[in-house]
């Protein structure tokens, strides 16, 4: 990607044009691979942006999982500033992820129908990377591994993610190490189980939020709250795009469609961080 030696005669101000094999840009970015993964299933010209938007979102999911794993490791090592740097990056990435709804947020049912049947039973519900995001948020569920039984690498990665403490677990363990009364039932929870809202945990966050507003713990709470809000926005933007594109039809993945998504979108990410605010 840098300027290299041997400019062509008379073109000294041009970047290097002469490479033995593939360009260093290609070697790093693999743009040729990336831009030939668009295998369309219909003749409809609108399908391309639907597929690419989905692929772009998968890439953002991958980056965000990386950031949250980085933040989790930092919290495990009692490094709150390190965790906040990764969480902040993930928030900018979530903003970009959410902005990528724009090109497909206004589909009419007829426009979506033009390629919908070509998707078969394919559904974002089967996205393993999205599932890893949900696991990191504490929304664990062993049954979400079932669709991936036939894909050994994906299945193994998900199985590992299911068994590991979530980002929220790591934050709560840190609060415990800092002397806060995190209930034992939360700390000793089976890591493969979903995080359920806990009133004593709400009291813990309320105590944090009543304290010094510049403290590391309030900043951690706010970092997680920002993540929670942006994830909630993704879910809601998805819900509204779905409502516009298909009303209340059943989903390609076999769910009740919008009704199912509404239920998912009603859930608060890191629930006690939201409910604690009523008690501060």
Residues engaged in binding ligand HEM (CB under 6 A): 53-54, 57-58, 104, 107, 123-125, 127, 130, 238, 241-242, 245-246, 251-255, 257, 260-261, 264
Identity of the residue, 6 or 110, whose beta carbon is nearer to ligand HEM in the bound complex: 110
CA 230 – CA 161 distance, rounded (Å): 22
Q: How far is the CB of 273 from ligand HEM (least distance, A)?
A: 20
Identity of the residue, 130 or 205, whose beta carbon is nearer to ligand HEM in the bound complex: 130
Q: Is 244 annotated as a binding residue?
A: no
258-275 core/surface letters (b: 16 or more CB in 10 A; e: else): bebbeeebeeebbbbbbe
Q: Is 277 annotated as a binding residue?
A: no
Rounded to 5 degrees, what angle do the CA atoms 266, 240, 232 make?
Answer: 40
DSSP string of 168-229, one letter each residue: HHHHHHHHHHTT----HHHHTS-TTSPP---HHHHHHHHHHHHS-TTSHHHHHHHHHHHHHH
Identity of the residue, 66 or 176, whose beta carbon is nearer to ligand HEM in the bound complex: 66
Q: How far is the CB of 99 from ligand HEM (least distance, A)?
A: 13
- The encoded tokens of residue 113 equal 């129908």
CA 47 – CA 42 distance, rounded (Å): 7
Query: Token pair 């974002």 is at which residue?
Result: 124
Nearest to 172 by CA among 217, 229, 213, 215: 217
Q: Are 42 and 112 in contact (CB under 8 A)?
A: no
Identity of the residue, 74 or 154, whose beta carbon is nearer to ligand HEM in the bound complex: 154
- The encoded tokens of residue 57 equal 């979102």
Identity of the residue, 266 or 277, whose beta carbon is nearer to ligand HEM in the bound complex: 266
Q: How far is the CB of 257 from ligand HEM (least distance, A)?
A: 4
Q: How far is the CB of 58 from ligand HEM (least distance, A)?
A: 6
Q: How far is the CB of 243 from ligand HEM (least distance, A)?
A: 8
Q: Is 275 annotated as a binding residue?
A: no
Sequence ranges of the binding site for heme:
238
- For the annotated binding site, the residues are 116, 238, 252
Annotation: binding site for substrate: 116, 252
């Amino acid at each position: 990607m840098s300027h290299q030696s041997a400019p062509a005669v008379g073109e000294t101000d041009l970047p290097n044009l002469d490479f033995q094999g593939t360009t260093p840009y290609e070697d790093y970015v693999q743009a040729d691979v990336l831009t030939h993964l668009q295998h369309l299933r219909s003749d409809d010209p609108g399908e391309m942006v639907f597929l690419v938007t989905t692929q772009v979102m998968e890439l953002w999911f991958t980056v965000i999982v990386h950031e949250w794993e980085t933040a989790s490791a930092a919290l495990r090592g009692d490094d709150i500033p390190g965790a906040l740097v990764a969480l902040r990056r993930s928030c900018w990435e979530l903003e970009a992820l959410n902005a990528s709804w724009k090109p497909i947020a206004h589909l009419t049912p007829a426009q979506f129908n033009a390629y919908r049947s070509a998707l078969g039973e394919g559904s974002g519900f089967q996205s393993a990377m999205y599932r890893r995001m949900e696991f990191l948020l504490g929304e664990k569920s062993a049954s979400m591994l079932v669709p991936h039984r036939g894909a050994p690498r994906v299945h193994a990665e998900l199985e590992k993610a299911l068994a590991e403490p979530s980002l929220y677990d790591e934050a709560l363990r840190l609060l415990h190490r800092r002397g806060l009364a995190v209930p034992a039932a939360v700390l000793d929870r089976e890591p493969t189980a979903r995080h359920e809202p806990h009133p004593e945990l709400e009291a813990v966050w309320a105590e944090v939020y009543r304290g010094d507003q510049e403290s590391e713990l309030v900043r951690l709470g706010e970092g997680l709250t920002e993540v929670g809000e942006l994830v909630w926005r993704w879910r809601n933007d998805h819900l509204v795009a779905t409502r516009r594109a298909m009303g209340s039809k059943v989903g390609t993945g076999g769910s009740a469609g919008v009704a199912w998504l509404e239920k998912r979108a009603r859930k608060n990410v890191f629930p006690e961080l939201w409910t604690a605010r009523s008690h501060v």
